[in-house]
Chain A
Amino acid sequence: MDNQEKLRKAFVDALNIETGGVHDGLSYQSIPQWDSISHMVLISEIEAVFNVTLETDDVIALSSFAKAREILTKYEIEF
Chain B
Amino acid sequence: MLGPHARLNRRDFVRLSAAGVSAAAVLGPRHRRASAAASPYPDWLPASSKSPKRGGVMTRASAWDPPVIDPRLTQSVGTFQFAGLTSNRLVRYPFSDEASGPADLTLKGDLAESWQASSDFRVWTFKIRQGVKWQNLPPLNGRELTAADIKYCYEQYAKEGFQAFTFQEIEGMETPDKYTLRVHLKTPNTLFPQNLAEPIAIIFSREVLEEDGDLKKRLIGTGPYILKEHTRKVRIVLQRNPDYWDKGRPYVDEYVILSTPDAATRLAAFRTGQADFIWVASPSEVEVVRKTNPQTLVQSYHNTLAPFGLALAQDKPPFNDVRVRRAISMSIDRQKMVDTVFEGHGILGWGVPYIYYQDSQPTAKDFGPWWQYKPAEAKKLLTEAGHPNGFSTTLFYYEYFPQMTSEVQLVQQELKKNLNIDIKITKLDYTTYYGRYVESKWDGMSWGFQSGHAIGLDERTYMYMHSKSTKNFFRVNDPIIDELTSKLRRTPERAEQRAITKKIVDREFDQVLRMWMPYDNGFLVFQPHMRNVSAGALRRTDGYGSPALARAWMEK
Answer whether A and B are interacting partners: no
A: residues with CB less than 8 A from B are none
